[in-house]
Structure 1
Amino acid sequence: MTIRYPRPLRPGDRVAVTSPSSGVPERLRGRFDAAVRVVEDRGYEVVVGACMDGSRHVSAPAGERAAEFEAFLTDPGIRAVVPPWGGETAIDVVPLIDWEKVAAAEPTWVVGYSDITTLITPLTLLSGTATVHGSNLMDTPYRTPDGLLSWLDVVESETGSRFTQSSPGRYRSAGWDDWTGKPGNDDLGLDTDGRWTRLDGGTGDVDVTGRLVGGCVETLANLAGSRYLDVRAFARDHAPEGLVVYVEACEDNAFTICRNLHGLRINGFFDHANAVLVGRTSAPDDATMTQHEAVVDALGMLGVPIVADVECGHVSPRMPFVNGALTRVVHMSGRSDVIQSLV
């Protein structure tokens, strides 16, 4: 079976916004409106769903969130679904979605990261539909750093096309911006030098190819062993060339990340990995274990290149990664590239 790539977006297409996890509080409506304007200025019609309430940790009851997400995915008039951001408990939506109905529909681009990987990774694994990890609607006003693409660039790409992203060598050390005071801020504030770090003990260049799949450790670990995270079946059906697996930690301490990565490995998440990419994180170390050591403890026995501090986590900037894309990763002195082919 081949990967199903949604058709590229073109001016006049409709982009839906819904919150299958957390909605947008009133104090951040200015940022939300600024993000919507960026998408509209690109030539798209933005359709905002009913599940957007930001007064609690979820935007609506689970059934309503699942129904709206599924409806947008199966509406032929919607070409992309972009949540405002992640949240905490999108897992309650997973068993309520009719995944077979979604798989039978014309594929639609879905974009997100963090808790949204609870949905986009199963969507790719269950249906072979490509999804985009790496940004969200509320990040859209930021200017894209040199060497990277925006999620809008990716969803406008033709099937069969190839694009290269290169590490800018800088990241943002501060926390979240004050979007209340500066709702239209477009400066990521990349204030710190930082390159990729090889963790597996290898000293040579890394040059590996496989199909991309991955997401947030804290959310995906809860799906391990279920049909929603059956990476073995995906590799068998869609990736005979093997996988490039990426993971990233949001906020859990090193001990918790270590346990979660062990659990993912035991359940086959890394069985077909030709390499593992680990996102740069600001999550805390522990007294006797760093975040890097947590990765080595859980995954060091895989015998494949493990490259950390990649721009695919909660620390800005973020490369859009297309789950399912045939991907070449090159890491050597003076060069750290991710080349994705939509084939």
Structure 2
Amino acid sequence: MRYPFLGWTGQTIGVTAPSSGLPEALHPLLEEATLRLRDRQMAVEIGQTVWAQEKAQSASAETRADELNHMLRNPEIDAIIPPFGGERAIDVLPYLDFAQLPEKWILGYSDISTLLFAITVKSGIATAHGPSFLEMRSEEWDETTTAWRRVLATPTGGTVTQWTSTSYQTKWNHAERPARYMYHVDAETQWKALDQTRSEATGRLLGGCLETIRHLAGTPYGDVRKFWQTQIDEEPILWYFEASEASATDIHRSLMQMVLAGWFDQASGILFGRTAAGQTVEDYTLLDVYETLSEKTGVPIFYDLDIGHQPPQLTLVNGALATIRIQGKDSRLDMTFR
């Protein structure tokens, strides 16, 4: 594995939209996030794709890829953080030269994880699943969100720890801004183990948004066995997933497809982010899905973690060696960049 590095001072963040851009009504949010990063001594360079959105994409696949490639190769840009996710990041993958990608952090989630997953699996370059650019528009950052800076500033060989948040946001409300933070936290966080006797697991992190990365199975961008053999020295994989909208049965089908594709053959455990998705179908619940997956794979299952669309969320590094420990309010995730 190869790990990028983002120092603490004088850094420039590139903002490009490899999936969705912003309609005009959301432009003020981008401008606000830009000011917040500048307040924290970071420069920001915004690409043209960010300002537009049509037909569920910011621009054509070629245009999106060109701007992303430009920012990746520009030595004056130190990391790339898209504004948010979207629907069509998969279109960009054929236009990337994975053998020539520079070591530079890309941070994001939702549909951006399609890009992150493919880059790590194809190139062995670590990528970061965590807050999007628009989620940095708060005057103050909670401890969980703030961790993205510690994570991206961890050198190769170093270890970084993140802990469970205290509380989280169950739904978005852009019309009102809380006094200190941008999130409307309204529920208590509790990381959970499906089997209380199996509260710890270690492996190489890999995963993303279930509804988008599932489409990489069976493609050159989802060759997990090759990644396991050539990039992580056949060490076990600690999977993580978050779901945005899928029902319980849709999540079930996606996970069973991954089982059949062999994605979990080398798994040491599977982490799931809390979600408002996973709606019960007839009497088949999201918890039933986790229990079915446990029976199929035999590995420990952890759920309701700080991952995904109910922030705040951890910054998880694809390819990093990680250990998850479920221990109540002291639950933690340790990542080592080796």
The aligned counterpart of 2:23 is 25
Identify the match of residue 151 of structure 2 among 134, 154, 157.
Answer: 154
Go from structure 1 to structure 2 and tell me whether the alpha carbon gap of 1:236 and 1:249 turns closer, same or farther (over 3 Å shift): same
Change (3 A) 1:59 1:9: same
**1:265 equivalent among 259, 265, 281:** 259
Q: Kindly provide the CA deviation profile for residues 246-299 of structure 1, in whole angstroms up to 9, marking residues without a partner as x.
A: 011110111111111111121122221111001101012222211222233245
Whole-Å separation in 1 of the counterparts to 2:117 and 2:282: 32
Distance 1:148 1:97, change over 3 A: closer
Counterparts of residues 1-343 of structure 1 (less than 5 Å): 3-56=1-54, 57-102=56-101, 105=102, 107-142=103-138, 143-146=140-143, 149-173=146-170, 175-178=171-174, 182=177, 186-199=181-194, 202-239=195-232, 240-283=234-277, 284-343=279-338
- How much does 1:197 deviate? 2.4
Q: Shift of the alpha carbon at 1:243?
A: 1.4
Question: What is the distance in 1 between the residues matched to 2:162 and 2:299?
Answer: 22
Deviation at 1:160, TM superposition (A): 2.3
* Partner secondary structure for residue 51 of structure 1: helix
Q: Which runs of no fewer than 5 residues in structure 2 stay unpaired?
A: none
Name the TM-score, length of structure 1 as normaliser: 0.91
The letter for the 2-side match of 1:248 is E
- 1 CA distance for matches of 2:144 and 2:198? 20
Pairwise CA distance, 1:303: 0.9
Q: CA deviation at 1:152?
A: 2.6
Cα distance 1:148–1:60, how it changes in 2: closer, same or farther (>3 A)?
Answer: closer
CA distance in 2, matches of 1:6, 1:32: 25
Percentage of matched positions with identical amino acids: 35
- Paired with 1:300 and 1:148, the residues of 2 have a C-alpha distance of 34
Q: 1:219-252 CA distances to partner (integer Å, 9 max, x unpaired)?
A: 0111111110112111222333311110111101
Q: How much has 1:115 moved relative to structure 2?
A: 0.2
1:148: Cα distance to partner? Answer: 6.0
Counterpart residue type for residue 31 of structure 1 = L
SS at match of 1:212: strand
- Structure 2 CA distance for partners of 1:152 and 1:242, relative to 1, 3 Å: same
Between 1:186-195 and 1:127-136, the stretch displaced more is 186-195
Superposition TM-score, scaled by structure 2 size: 0.92
Distance in 2, matches of 1:279 and 1:300, equals 20
Q: Give CA deviations for 1:37-95 in whole Å, capped at 9, x if unaligned.
A: 12222222211111123342211111100111122122222210110000011111112
Unaligned 5+ segments in structure 1 are: none
